[in-house]
Structure 1
Amino acid sequence: MPRTRALRNRFVDAPGSVGERLRTARWERFRQLFPGIEGMTVVDLGGTADMWLRAPVRAKHVHLINLEPHPEGLPDWISAENADVTAPDVAAALGSYDLVFSNSTIEHVGGHSQRRRFVAAVDKLAPLHWIQTPYRYFPVEPHFVAPGFQFLPLAARAKLVRHWPLTHSRPGSPQEGMDAVINIELLTRAEMRYLFPDSVLISERVLGVTKSLTAVRAERAPGAAAASRD
């Protein structure tokens, strides 16, 4: 397992990895689109404190909303709570912010109806947003670093994930295998355009192939940034 984890890190997490280079480029694009980020309040749907602490940009304040526990001892510019933002009462109680940020979360919320609730929360919480998600038709499924994984039948995915060496946390039982894959629904360009009709859709590409999509409503026109758009 340590060897396969090291192999995954080479692709995804380690300094100098493909994943790290893409994240760096993504942050630079974000900075270009939101040049006033240092003075902005941000609500991050599905984010973690670690991501913001490692980021090359810093907002005035970031409020994290996640179902997973948050660490203790956060700096004063980061606050956090455990909540499901697709619940209307949760979104209503959050107040308002300058920017909604979400990275690789909308594909996890659980079905089309939940995604519509997620979008409703985005629209309510702030006038600006950055909503990124992996692209369904990129050849490698990003959560499991597995070629073509997203196109397999559900039962095959649940079985394969228990044996695939590049899985982040390998499930130990059939039930855990199904839990790992059943609520990951990668989105297409058509779905993102449907969900965010008034946003600009930016494509992040690897070797000319779209890897992820980001719905943006920004301070600066996305066409002025060093980013491809469709």
Structure 2
Amino acid sequence: MKDLTISRFRTARGRILRRQIEKLADHLGRPVSILDVGGRPDYWENVGHERISEIRLLNIDENEIDRHGLSNLFTSEIGDARDLKGYADKSVDLVHSNSVIEHVGAWPDMSAMASEMQRVGLSGWIQTPAWEFPIEPHFRLPFLHWLAPPMRRAALKLSKDYGALDVATRRYHIDRINLLSYSEVRALFPIGNIYVEKFVFSKSYSARWGPGAA
């Protein structure tokens, strides 16, 4: 049941992103080029490749470069979401990331990523899990992210995947994820609109801007 629910949300999210791409392509009068920060090719199977000219996959970890077999549609490069110095202002038709911004660091790091994405992207789609949802999506434990960091680290012992790790390693995994609330996402992305995915509680947010995002 859980997998079916996740699949339903992903399918619905993919349809909305697909509409944004189609409207952007109509606006530009040509296929769309996409910069996918932290992306992987298999993600786009749910969205579709129609009316897309290229998808550049930008990752900070060089091990990601050769991890995936790339079709002619995809290219892969090393880069840092917090400093997209290789890209001029509004040089990307659509800048995209899926569940990445909560991994880049503390607030200054997330703010830097948000500013860079809005700088380079004529249009944008930035998705992140909602802090308000009661189940932490990475560790799949209820209420974990609502606790103070030391309590989160202690509670992580309940996880079958992380419970056997030592204190320092569990704290590392806790500190590397910072979920965002609605008001924080709005503060990071003041332009455009925010698509709220709900399952009783808010489940995820997608900041959207530019042609096609209305």
TM-score range, shorter-chain basis? Answer: 0.7 to 0.9
Shift of 1:23: 0.6
Identify unmatched segments of 5+ residues in structure 1: 1-9, 223-230
Moved over 6 A (4+): none
Instruction: Name 1:115's counterpart in structure 2.
Output: 110
Q: Indicate how the Cα distance of structure 1 residues 117 and 56 shifts in structure 2: closer, same or farther if over 3 A, else same.
A: closer
Q: Which aligned pairs between 1:53-132 and structure 2 lie closer than 5 A?
A: 54-58=45-49, 59-68=52-61, 69-70=63-64, 71-87=67-83, 91-95=84-88, 96-132=91-127
Paired AA for residue 193 in structure 1: R
Shift of 1:37: 6.7
Q: Indicate how the Cα distance of structure 1 residues 145 and 64 shifts in structure 2: closer, same or farther if over 3 A, else same.
A: same
Shift of 1:210: 1.2
State the distance in 1 between where 2:46 and 2:206 align: 18
Q: Which aligned pairs between 1:1-230 and structure 2 lie closer than 5 A?
A: 11=2, 14=3, 17-36=4-23, 39-52=31-44, 54-58=45-49, 59-68=52-61, 69-70=63-64, 71-87=67-83, 91-95=84-88, 96-165=91-160, 167=161, 172-207=165-200, 209-222=201-214
Please say if residues 65 and 80 of structure 1, whose CA atoms lie closer than 8 Å, have aligned partners that are also in contact. yes
Shift of 1:154: 1.0
Aligned residues: 202
Paired AA for residue 206 in structure 1: F
Shift of 1:107: 1.1
Paired AA for residue 15 in structure 2: E
Tell me, what secondary structure is at the counterpart of 1:137? coil
Please say if residues 41 and 68 of structure 2, whose CA atoms lie closer than 8 Å, have aligned partners that are also in contact. no
Tell me, what secondary structure is at the counterpart of 2:36? strand
Paired AA for residue 55 in structure 1: N
Q: Normalising by the residue count of structure 2, what TM-score does the alignment of the two structures yield?
A: 0.85
State the distance in 2 between where 1:221 and 1:120 align: 18
State the distance in 2 between where 1:60 and 1:212 align: 28
Shift of 1:175: 2.1
Instruction: Name 2:28's counterpart in structure 1.
Output: none
Identify unmatched segments of 5+ residues in structure 2: 26-30
Deviates most, 115-124 or 98-107: 115-124
Tell me, what secondary structure is at the counterpart of 1:198? coil
Please say if residues 27 and 55 of structure 1, whose CA atoms lie closer than 8 Å, have aligned partners that are also in contact. yes
- Per-residue deviation, residues 57-86 of structure 1 (Å, max 9, x unmatched): 113211111223221531121111232221
Tell me, what secondary structure is at the counterpart of 1:161? helix
Q: Indicate how the Cα distance of structure 1 residues 46 and 171 shifts in structure 2: closer, same or farther if over 3 A, else same.
A: farther
Deviates most, 128-137 or 76-85: 76-85
Tell me, what secondary structure is at the counterpart of 1:127? strand
**Alignment identity in percent?**
28
Q: Indicate how the Cα distance of structure 1 residues 189 and 151 shifts in structure 2: closer, same or farther if over 3 A, else same.
A: same
State the distance in 1 between where 2:147 and 2:187 align: 25
Q: Indicate how the Cα distance of structure 1 residues 37 and 175 shifts in structure 2: closer, same or farther if over 3 A, else same.
A: farther
Deviates most, 103-112 or 29-38: 29-38
